[in-house]
Each structure stands twice: as C-alpha cells, then as structure tokens.
With several copies, the nearest count.
Chain A
Amino acid sequence: MATVAEQEHVNPPRERPEHVRNTELGKPVTFLEAIREALWEEMERDPDVFLMGEDIGIYGGAFKMTDGFLDYFGEDRVIDTPISEAGFTGAAAGAAHMGLRPVVEMQFMDFVSCAYEPLTNYIATSRWRGSGPVPMVVRGPVGGGVRGGPFHSQNPEMAFFHTPGLKIVYPSTAYDAKGLLKAAIRDDDPVLFFEHKRLYRAPALREVLPPEDFVVPLGEARIHREGTDLTIVTYGMMVHEALKAAERLAGDDGIQAEVLDLRTLLPLDEDAIVSSVKKTNRLLVVHEDTRTGGLAGEIAMRVNEKAFEWLDAPILRVTAIDTPVPYSPPLEDYYLPQVDDIVTAGKYLAGY
C-alpha cells in the first residue's frame, strides 16, 4: 500500500509560489503570512499534514490564508468541505487516529460552536479513553474590532478552556504565530489555534523571521516588556493594547508595567504568571473576551493558590462588557477594552 509519503515522491518538487517565499528571501512577513508559511512548510515537511475547511481550496480561504495551496498540494491535501463544522472536525479526528495530521480551518472561529460536541466529548477525551492521541489543529480567525458583528467577532476560548484534553493557543506576533502553529501541528494532542483578525495584516506586526525551521513550544508565556510595579497578563490583540498602555504608564507616571503574553492559554503557564506577580505584587488581567467567566478568573485562582502573600492589591481585570459583540462602531468600541482602560486600571493598581 502506498503511503502518502511515497505518493508524494512521485511528484517532483515544484517551486514555491512567490507569496510563501518572503522569509526565504529575507523579507518581512505579516502575521497572516507567518501563519501561511507555517502551514506551507509543515505540509512540505510532513506528508501526513493536510487541510480541511470551507472555501480553502480554489478560493484560498475567506482570508486567503491558503491561497495557492490547492494548486501545489492538490485536492487530497487541501479539501473543501461542505458546511459542516462538526462533520469535518469529527472527520479530522478519525484521520488523526489513523496517523494523519489534519489542520482544519473554521472560516470564522465563531462557527467552532457547531463543533463543540466532537471537540469536547470525543476529541478531548480520546487519549484518556484509551483510543489514542488525536493530533489535529483547529485554527481560524477570532476577535472583534473589525465591525463583524456578533457572529464574526467572537473570542470562543472559554468554551474550551474548561475541557481537559485540549490545548488552546492564541499568538500575538508573527514570530509566535509561525512557531506556535508549527508546534501545534507537530503536537500529539488536539490544539485550538486562535488568530486575531486585526493582527492578520497589521503593518506594525511585519517581521523578518528566521529562515530556518523553528518552533515556539506550547505552554510557555513570554514577557513582552519587563516591569517592576505591576504585572499585566494578557494575550492576543490585547498584548498590543497593553504594550501601548504600558508605554503611557511609564511616560505619564513612571509606572513600570510588566506585560506577560500568555501565548498558550491551555495549558496555562502558571509559573510565569506567579513569578511575575511575586516580582511586581500587583496583577491586572486584560482580555478582549467578555468579563464573567473569562480567563481572568482562573488566573486569579492560581495566583491566590500560589502567590497570595505577595499580593499588595486586588487582582483586577479589564475586559469586554458582558454582551455579544455589537456591530455598530460606537457600540463595539464601548464594548471592547481600550488602551485608556488599561491605563486607568494600571494607575489605580500602582497607586493602591
């Protein structure tokens, strides 16, 4: 029986299309391009990696992430699915059981709610049930601020954060996005990979990436900015808002905020959080997601368990308000956490 690997060797390697050669040519890449390169390189590296999703083939995906993939990798490895998130997510699990490494795209991560059942019940429990690992990635665009309304702007991390057996990754830079996605694809457990739409083409995020193969290990937070007065734990789009706020806090009031980017939400890098809090004695959690039941809660609990004595102020949070994501710009701007809010909270905490 021919394996996918053997079949591949039948086709002589072709030239990569221009739009996935930026890093190879030493050019900077956007967040989106970094993810595209990760997908491309993993597909080249490992013939068991393949893609499924809606409109990812001839159209190249709603955000053109997989533009050019169908031509190069063929229909078997770039599969346009019917509109059935549960169906193709469950199918990915079956393929993963047999040793393949599917990467499925949610056209918008809002639609992962349709695959909630297979993800939380079948996929997350498989290894524990003795049915073996499910090496697969579910990736897609998340987040608000793009006037997408309540069903194209969600941050569904907390729907899955509570499920033992899943991993959740939410990068904030092009480097991390590439390295974390590669790590996720190589990981032997199911990974949800969240890509904030506002980061996709943000010019400020363009980066020249190392030309060699690299991964960013899952489960490790990163300090984006060192500080001594206050820890801001955040992730995704809010890393950039927190960094802006930190600059203002430093400039206006000389408050040095440490900005910790979780990068992986599950498993949570508790050690990184705890050691930063032990240094700064103050903790602000910032998430774009809604407030009640958001990630701040678990972080508060972990810090209580591990670093209560070090806290000189209450753990506070800056988050979206507890509603769906509104469509109209003035409403959405009110809904979302803003840099001003982080500054206000940071000052409050520093002065506590």
Chain B
Amino acid sequence: MPDRTTVGAGAGVAGLSRAQLHEIYGYLELTRRVEEVLTHLYRQNKVIGGLYRSLGQEATAVGSAYALRRRTDGTGDVIAPAIRNLGSLLVMGARPVDVMRQYMAKADSPTGGREQNVHFTDYDRGFIGLISHLGVMIEVMAGVALSFRLRGEDRVALAYCGDGMTSTGGFHEGFNFAAVQRLPLVVLIESNGYAYSTPTARQSAVGSFIEKAEGYGVHGERCDGNDVLAVYEMTRRAVDHARAGKGAVLLEVVTYRRKGHAEHDAQAYVPPGELAHWEALDPLDRFRRRLLDEGWATDAELDAISTRIAGEVEAAREAAERSPMPEPEAALEPVIAGARTARPWVRLPTPDPHLA
C-alpha cells in the first residue's frame, strides 16, 4: 500500500481563512473523539450492533465534505456517506448525540432505533443515509444529481465509495448513468487498503481506481487522502466542475483503514509494519503540525479547540445515555403512508383470529 501514496498537493492555504482552517481541525478532532467515545460505549456493551471506525481516514471525510455548499434548509449539496464517513456527516451538520443514539438504538435517534450507526438521513442538511448493500447509493445519488439538473439547481451530489464498493454492479450502473447524462455527481473512492479483510489487489486488477475515469468518459483526479487540505482542494475542483455542468467526476484518495473492518475484527491479516507506517501518516497529527509550522494556528488555539470538543462530545454522550430505548409497539411504525402495520393477533389481550 505505502507505494501507492502520492504526496498531497498542499498548495498553500487553499483559499481558506484561518478560522476555516481551525474549523477543519475541529471537525477532524470531533470525528476522532466521537469514535473514541463510541469505542468506550461499545466496550461497555452500550453500542448494540457493530462499530465501524474511520481512524486514519478522517481527513478524507472531513476535507471532502468541507468543500461542499453546506446549508441547513435543504438547498445545499447532498452527500451519501459510506460506513467510514462519520466525519463527512459531522461537517454537514449531523449532531454527535444523534450518532450516538443511532449506535445505541435509542428511541429518539433519528431513525427511532429502527436503523443503526450512520444509516440516517437529513435532507435539510444534505445527507442521505446509506443502507448496507454496497453499490446502491451510487445509483441513488445519480438520481439526486439528476433532480438537480431537471430542476435547474446548481447543486452537487457527492457519493462516497470504498475500494470494495467499486466492484459492485451498483457502482457501475449508477456511475455510468451519471457519466452519460453528464450529471453533477462526484464519486469519491476511498482506497483504504482493504474491504473487510480483502486487500485492494484482490478487488480489482487496476493499478489505481482513477484509471477507471477514462473508461466512463469522465474527469478523474487522485490525491493523498491523509492530507486534509489536498482532499479539500481536489474535491473543491471536482465540485466546481460538476456544478458548472461539466458532468460527473471520479475522485480517488489513497488512505488507510487503521482499525479492523469493525471493532470485532482483530486485523490478523494485516502484514507487519503496515499499521506503523500509516500511524506515522496520521492525518490529525499531520494537519496539526502543518497548522503550527505554517503559523496558521498556535498550540494554545488548537488545545482550546480540542478541549471544547471533548466537552461537547462528553455532553452528547451523557444525553445519549439518558435517552430511552423505544417502546416495543413502536415497531408498528408503518412502511407505507397512512397504513398501519398489522399487530400480531396473539399479542392482543384476548386473541381473536378474526383480527389476525
């Protein structure tokens, strides 16, 4: 993997103000912090299902989402995260407490406990919750981009895609549709070394995913995914391209999944030295160093951000822990408008099959 890393563009301050750079730093911190707290909750058996970490990939999520037009009234750009894009959601405006409630299956989670982790939607803030089935979100986001074109809105759709997800028919059909229709869709491939335990070389024979761009007749670009400003700048160019009506774009970032597929995965398949190599390329450390080296921030400023965020996350945890679990009958949440889900007759006080 290491040999595939290109060093990021890092071209100056990328048109970002000092405050914006600090904000980006804050989102990186926030992402990592939320996941650390989730890890604690997981170990306490308070996370109900699996826990998926993005450790080492936060720059990808945060840098790319930060390049979008972010609104809270449903008029901005729209993303579909993949499982490791907690950072993108947070940048778009998702609240840490909601993420925690999702993981903890609480009644007041955005999905009422019906769905889990980052599988939740906020059209106002511009994110659409994925389902587990890999690939379908690329199709869905092609349609979101289509709606922008049909309505003459200059909005952009950004779909995140793992290296593994590129192998699905959904990726191909969805992206080809967007390419041929020249839709404002950016697909960002996060080449993070693995799909579960499967190394990228067993997923595709292609040297770099960006070589697929030509095969779809679209613009493609690639950068170091652990350099948050490089990711920001590249995504910014792609989003501008798409917004200008020049069609779909395929992006690739090279990064690395430093934890297992989910918390249960002991990563026994990882060759020795690989983790250490990538730890040294930690995106938070790198960005912090850069901010300090370039004089864009002081230690004190960054520490203050970290402290503030630690407090916010702690407050979110407390709130999430206090949240109730759903009432059983909330399972009757209807699947179609206006209809009620039939209750099992055997759970009525006096069972009567005429109510079956």
Do they bind each other? yes
Binding site for B on A (CB under 8 A): 1-4, 7, 50, 54-55, 57-59, 62, 76-77, 79-84, 86-100, 102, 107-108, 110-111, 113-114, 117-118, 121-122, 124-125, 127-133, 147-152, 164-165, 167, 187-189, 267, 291, 305-306, 314, 316-319, 321-324, 326-335, 337, 340-342, 344-345, 348
> A318-B346, A341-B346 are known contacts. Are A334 and B174 too (CB-CB below 8 A)?
no
Contacts of A110 in B (CB 8 A): 132-133
Contact B180 A133 (CB under 8 A): no
B153 contacts A by Cβ under 8 Å: yes
4 closest Cβ pairs, A-B complex: A90-B139, A94-B143, A87-B173, A328-B113
B176 contacts A by Cβ under 8 Å: yes
- Complex: chain A residue closest to B157, CB-CB: A94
A93 to chain B minimum Cβ distance, whole angstroms, is 5
> A122-B133, A147-B105 are known contacts. Are A94 and B147 too (CB-CB below 8 A)?
yes
> A97-B140, A114-B133, A331-B328 are known contacts. Are A130 and B121 too (CB-CB below 8 A)?
yes
Which of B106, B116, B150, B339 sits near A4, CB closer than 8 Å? B150
- Complex: chain A residue closest to B203, CB-CB: A82
Against A, the Cβ 8 Å flags (1 = close, 0 = not) of B102-130 are: 00011100111111100111010000110
Contacts of A96 in B (CB 8 A): 143
- Complex: chain B residue closest to A291, CB-CB: B342
> A150-B114, A345-B351 are known contacts. Are A97 and B197 too (CB-CB below 8 A)?
no
Contact B144 A94 (CB under 8 A): yes
Contact B150 A100 (CB under 8 A): yes
Contact B331 A130 (CB under 8 A): no
Contacts of A50 in B (CB 8 A): 150
Contacts of B112 in A (CB 8 A): 130, 328
Contact A84 B344 (CB under 8 A): no
What CA separation (Å) do A291 and B347 show in the bound complex? 15
B contact patch SS: loop
Against A, the Cβ 8 Å flags (1 = close, 0 = not) of B263-278 are: 0000011000000000
Contact A331 B141 (CB under 8 A): no
Contact A7 B326 (CB under 8 A): no
Contacts of B49 in A (CB 8 A): 147-149, 152, 327
B300 to chain A minimum Cβ distance, whole angstroms, is 42
Contact B144 A129 (CB under 8 A): no
Contacts of A189 in B (CB 8 A): 336-337
Question: What are 6 of the A-B contact pairs (CB < 8 Å)?
Answer: A54-B198, A79-B146, A83-B167, A90-B170, A110-B133, A330-B328
B334 contacts A by Cβ under 8 Å: yes
Contact A55 B356 (CB under 8 A): no
Contact B344 A94 (CB under 8 A): no
Contact A82 B176 (CB under 8 A): yes
Contacts of A317 in B (CB 8 A): 356
- Complex: chain A residue closest to B324, CB-CB: A330
Contact A2 B151 (CB under 8 A): yes
> A94-B139, A94-B140 are known contacts. Are A314 and B353 too (CB-CB below 8 A)?
yes
8 Å CB interface, B166-184 against A: 167-170, 172-174, 176-177, 180-181
Contacts of B132 in A (CB 8 A): 108, 110-111, 149, 151-152
> A150-B114, A329-B325 are known contacts. Are A88 and B177 too (CB-CB below 8 A)?
yes
- Complex: chain A residue closest to B154, CB-CB: A1
What CA separation (Å) do A321 and B345 show in the bound complex? 10
What CA separation (Å) do A333 and B174 show in the bound complex? 36
A176 to chain B minimum Cβ distance, whole angstroms, is 20
- Complex: chain B residue closest to A164, CB-CB: B335
What CA separation (Å) do A332 and B131 show in the bound complex? 18
Interface band, chain B: 35 or more
Contacts of A100 in B (CB 8 A): 147, 150-151
Which of A82, A93, A291 sits near B143, CB closer than 8 Å? A93
Which of A76, A91, A98, A151 sits near B139, CB closer than 8 Å? A91
Contact A122 B140 (CB under 8 A): yes
- Complex: chain A residue closest to B102, CB-CB: A327
Contacts of A7 in B (CB 8 A): 152
Contacts of B14 in A (CB 8 A): none
Which of A87, A111, A322, A344 sits near B177, CB closer than 8 Å? A87
Contacts of B195 in A (CB 8 A): 54, 83
Which of B123, B173, B333 sits near A86, CB closer than 8 Å? B173
Of A82, A93, A108, A133, most buried by chain B (CB within 10 Å of CB) is: A82
B341 contacts A by Cβ under 8 Å: yes
Contact B196 A316 (CB under 8 A): no
Contacts of A82 in B (CB 8 A): 164, 167, 173, 176-177, 180, 198, 202-204
What CA separation (Å) do A319 and B48 show in the bound complex? 24
A344 to chain B minimum Cβ distance, whole angstroms, is 4
Contacts of A333 in B (CB 8 A): 328
Contacts of B172 in A (CB 8 A): 84, 87
- Complex: chain B residue closest to A331, CB-CB: B331
Contact B354 A91 (CB under 8 A): no
B136 contacts A by Cβ under 8 Å: yes
Contacts of B131 in A (CB 8 A): 121-122, 125, 129, 150-151
Contact A118 B136 (CB under 8 A): yes
